[in-house]
Amino acid sequence: MAEYSALSIVRNALSGNEHWKPAWRKPEPKPAYDVIIVGGGGHGLSTAYYLASEFGIRNVAVVEKGWVGSGNIGRNTTIVRSNYLLPGNTPFYEHSMKLWENLSHELNYNVMFSQRGIINLFHTPAQEDDHARRGNSMILQGVDARFVRPPELKRRVPALNVSGSSRFPVLGGLEQPRAGTARHDAVAWGYARGADRRGVDIIENCEVTGFVREGDQVTGVETSRGRIHARKVAVAVAGATSRVMAMAGIGRLPIESHVLQAFVTESIKPCLDTVVTYGGGHLYISQSDKGSLVFGGDIDGYNSYAQRGNLPIVEDVMSEVLELFPAFAKLRLLRSWGGIMDMSMDGSPIIAKGPLPGLYLNAGWCYGGFKATPASGWCFAHTIAKDEPHQFNAPYTLDRFHRGTVIDEKGQGATPWKH
Amino acid sequence: MIIVCPFCGPRDLSEFAYCGDADNLAARPDPAATDPAAWNAYVYDRTNPAGEHAEIWQHAGGCRKFLRVVRNTVTHEISGVTMLEPKA
Ligand SMILES: Cc1cc2nc3c(=O)[nH]c(=O)nc-3n(C[C@H](O)[C@H](O)[C@H](O)COP(=O)(O)OP(=O)(O)OC[C@H]3O[C@@H](n4cnc5c(N)ncnc54)[C@H](O)[C@@H]3O)c2cc1C
Ligand SMILES: [Zn+2]
């Protein structure tokens, strides 16, 4: 298996970089497993990893339609934070943060987790009150939070326009110092390698096309590489949730698929060493270790399964960047892309047993599931192994929508295109 | 994306406001009905198809009419736009 060290880099450089070993095997699917995980994104891979490492279930397959990293895990803007308001969310995301803090060590794989902080700017007194409320809620639940005022902002983020000349002048920000960014591909690769080493079969280019059923009981999947049986089938396919669940006869879910775009500029010298979000609209921006500015804004705002967006959002996001950082007008954009979000009706996820016997569902990540990758896999693995949720994911049921226990951070109601 | 408003002609996406799944909105239970299952299904559950999707858009930056648009969610191709009439 692939091991990385300074020595291995030198040795492989001297031999023309032709002898690197693949980080995980490419096994043929076996006829049956204890658990099949549908979807080899971040959440499917971390679920497999924790099933094997924490819960002793190693006869596991991850079945992925494309290749590891082809979905949202390789498309996001990599922001990791646990600055939530509601008690249903905070313990889960804080658990994720704690897993992040040890992840490179745990996987022996550098996921480049960088706790550079996140500053959510506010621009009106009402917004300031709202941010104070969220900060207080965070502190009450054991999460770090503090206010940052314009003089400090000016020092910390020199490129930021705090002059008061902008349309929505910056009054301050709510900071979570332990928040930050991570290398998204490395997270997928690290979990994949860790799972593979513990015996998990990662089967790429294998699309699930149906479910094997005995009555209501789900007993396996039909795939483009044949039928595979399993005692338990766990679905973690993010934006494809409705399509995949429809194959199991679940025709309606509290989910809509929407496209989210992201953008990257040419590389420049370090000028932004934290994550900044704009409160006058919706923008989040950071600088990657390569020097590119990475940013995104709202979803396009209509149902979409096309992994590309439309121009109004591009214009919107660019105007927000320039509102905060006028100097960035000189930068050239290198790339933009889109990913399909599984937008839930209350903006919170689902990690639950069911809705059919033998079936387990992980979905509804909206555009915030990257930060959840460790805790989502950990809690999903717990739910699959023990047939009951951990206390951290107990609120994330599928039937909460019909029971009146939604977890709606924004108080937005069932309008996923506005979340 | 361009939507052809039956009233105003072809207009840019930025003039329109999205209002959600048309078939779901049309299936609203009778306001006097008190079956929670029916109301919950109406408020929260969607078919969310990959392919043709009937949806309501308002030409907010134009004639302000509500339109029923049939659009392919994979290709963005629009196969039909009709004016939404108030319920009789
Ligand atoms: C532009 C963008 C920016 C984002 N920014 C952030 C951010 O800053 N912070 C944050 O926390 N989150 C962010 N997110 C959200 C985050 O990326 C997702 O919520 C998260 O990655 C979803 O979980 P996943 O990694 O398992 O999904 P994916 O990587 O999409 O995994 C799902 C997998 O299922 C596979 N699949 C689908 N159908 C089938 C089938 N029939 N058979 C087999 N396999 C199938 C897909 O090929 C895919 O690989 C962003 C997302 C996007 C698109
Ligand atoms: Zn019109």
Q: Per-residue pLDDT tens for A386-408? A: 999 999 999 999 999 999 999 99
What architecture (CATH level 2) is domain B2-83? 2-Layer Sandwich (3.30)
The answer to whether B53 contacts chain A (CB < 8 Å) is yes
User: What residues flank ion ligand 2 with Cβ within 5 A?
Assistant: B 5, 7-8, 59, 62-63
Q: Could you give the count of Cα atoms lying within 13 Å of A271 in the half-sphere of its Cβ? A: 15
Closest CA to A365 of A373, A357, A353: A373
Tell me, what's the ipTM? Answer: 0.96
In angstroms, the CA B68 to CA B7 distance is: 13
Rounded to two decimals, the pTM is 0.97
| Domain assignment present for A148 | no
A29 lines ligand 1 (CB under 6 A): no
The answer to whether residues A417 and A301 touch, using CB atoms and an 8 Å cutoff, is: yes
Q: How many CB atoms lie within 10 A of CB B25?
A: 15
| Domain assignment present for A62 | yes
A363 lines ligand 1 (CB under 6 A): no
In angstroms, the CA A89 to CA A119 distance is: 19
Which chain B residue lies closest to A403 (C-alpha atoms)? B40
Reduce the DSSP state of residue A373 to 3 states and report it. Answer: helix
- In order, the DSSP letters of A240-282 are GHHHHHHHTT---BSEEEEEEEEEEEEE-SS---SEEEETTTT
Reduce the DSSP state of residue A177 to 3 states and report it. Answer: coil
| Domain assignment present for A203 | yes
Number of residues that make up chain B: 88
The answer to whether residues A369 and A80 touch, using CB atoms and an 8 Å cutoff, is: no
CB atoms B50 and A243 under 8 Å: yes
| Domain assignment present for A75 | yes
pLDDT in tens, A266-323: 999 999 999 999 999 999 999 999 999 999 999 999 999 999 999 999 999 999 999 9
Q: Quote the ligand 1 centre to A154 CA distance (angstroms).
A: 35
pLDDT in tens, A160-182: 999 988 889 999 999 999 999 99
Q: Is the dihedral of CA A132, A133, A138, A141 positive or negative?
A: positive
Query: Which residue has the least CA distance to atom 51 on ligand 1?
Result: A76
Range of the domain at A66: 22-81+184-255+346-418
> Residue A61: which CATH number?
3.50.50.60
CB atoms B47 and A243 under 8 Å: no
Q: Residue A369 corresponds to which tokens in the numbers above? A: 């599931």
| Domain assignment present for A169 | no
| Domain assignment present for A60 | yes
| Domain assignment present for A271 | no
What does each C-alpha distance from A419 to A53, A91, A142, A195, A256 come to in angstroms? 35, 21, 26, 34, 11
Which residue positions in chain A have pLDDT lower than 50?
Answer: none
pLDDT value of position A270: 97
Number of domains observed in the structure of chain A: 1
Q: Quote the ligand 2 centre to B56 CA distance (angstroms).
A: 13
Domains of chain B by residue range = 2-83
Which chain A residue lies closest to B21 (C-alpha atoms)? A303
| Domain assignment present for A133 | no
Q: Could you give the count of Cα atoms lying within 13 Å of A348 in the half-sphere of its Cβ? A: 31
